[in-house]
Structure 1
Amino acid sequence: MTLLPSARSLRVAPLTPEHARDICTWGYPAPYDCYDMTEVDPDELLSPDAGVYALLADERLVGFRSFGADGRVPGWAYDDSALDTGGGLRPELVGQGLGRHAIAAGLAFGRERFAPPAFRVTVASFNTRALRTVESLGFGRVGRFDAASDGRSFEVLVRPEG
């Protein structure tokens, strides 16, 4: 049994090779299996261009946050008007109410590190939990599209900063 971390203990930190190897073992039950990380090479996550960071509770890896191209899904006409952000939680922590705190920690980190004019998230249309969560954090829907890779429907949401 995994103890749910305290929302106050969440922080974003540099990703280590150990974190990357751990994340690449994460698999989720259907229909969330589209978020599986098991086919990802840990070295890809560690590349500076990937923009992937560890989400820690105290020193325990509970998730990851990403900034930049990693948050984009092929099929949408992305531009530089917002910073794309994404992420995930350790599979056993999904659905336990931690998502809002995890995303908020990522937004605070992204705001401090990148100072974007806006944040943008791309969420699978079926993922009503994630959509409710990002909308509760001030994101508004700006469009919907079908992914170029598998035709899955996605929603694009933006949150202006400042």
Structure 2
Amino acid sequence: MVNVFKKRGAFNIEFFIRKRTNEDINEFITWTYEGIYSFYDNNIQPDKIDSLNQSIHSDRAFTVIDGEGNVAGNCEFYNVQEDENEILVVGLQMKPSLTAQGHGSKFSKAIIEQGRQLFNYDHLELAVAEFNKRAIRTYEKGGFVKRGELEDTIRGNSYNFIIMAKD
């Protein structure tokens, strides 16, 4: 029987989160993306490099691995204060060589489900660059809905972000 998903590269990969190592962080820092997605390049963002290096001590920052133990991405859960509420937010990043191959839904679902087991949350949010239509579609398929927008200046340029929430 032919796996119809294999045409898009979405063969049966499972994803898991585990504690980060220094080796993982050294790999994350080398990641670069094609085209408009170069916005997410880790090697050109000194603040991101510092944050990744500091995250080794966090119990909320993880490496995402596949079923064979290969690094597939990273994620971090953190709290944001909004008015009187504290909101749990997740940031996630897939390894460049795995993007645009149909893995996004499984990748994000694994992070969300395993994060729920660790942090026992009922509500989760994330921010995604407005231009990143493929990520937005993936999050919508996973049950996230648009909750709002924000504008942020990164490396001297202004970007719009969509805030998405899932209960």
TM-score (norm. length: structure 1)? 0.83
Counterpart residue number, 1:48:
58
Counterpart residue number, 1:151:
158
Counterpart residue number, 1:19:
24
Q: Taking every aligned residue pair, what percent have the same amino acid on both sides?
A: 24
Q: Distance in 1 between matches of 2:92 and 2:84?
A: 20
User: Residues 153, 94 of structure 1: CA spacing in aligned structure 2 closer, same or farther, 3 A cutoff?
Assistant: same
User: Residues 25, 5 of structure 1: CA spacing in aligned structure 2 closer, same or farther, 3 A cutoff?
Assistant: farther
Counterpart secondary structure, 1:147: strand
Residues 1:35 and 2:40 aligned together: yes
1:21-45: CA deviations, max 9, x gaps? 1011001123111211113145223
The offset of 1:96, in angstroms, is: 0.5
RMSD of equivalent CA atoms: 2.3
**Unpaired stretches in structure 1, ≥5 consecutive residues:** none
Q: Distance in 1 between matches of 2:108 and 2:32?
A: 20
- The structure richer in strand per residue is 2
1:82-131: CA deviations, max 9, x gaps? 31012111111111111111100100111000011201010000100000
Counterpart secondary structure, 2:162: strand
Larger Rg: 2
Aligned length: 151
Q: Distance in 1 between matches of 2:91 and 2:101?
A: 18
Q: Quick one: which of 99, 103, 112 aligns to 1:107?
A: 112
Q: Which runs of 4+ in 1 moved over 6 A?
A: none
The offset of 1:79, in angstroms, is: 6.8
Task: Answer yes or no: is the 8 Å Cα contact 1:143–1:157 preserved in 2.
Answer: yes
The offset of 1:148, in angstroms, is: 4.0
Task: Answer yes or no: is the 8 Å Cα contact 2:10–2:101 preserved in 1.
Answer: no
TM-score (norm. length: structure 2)? 0.81
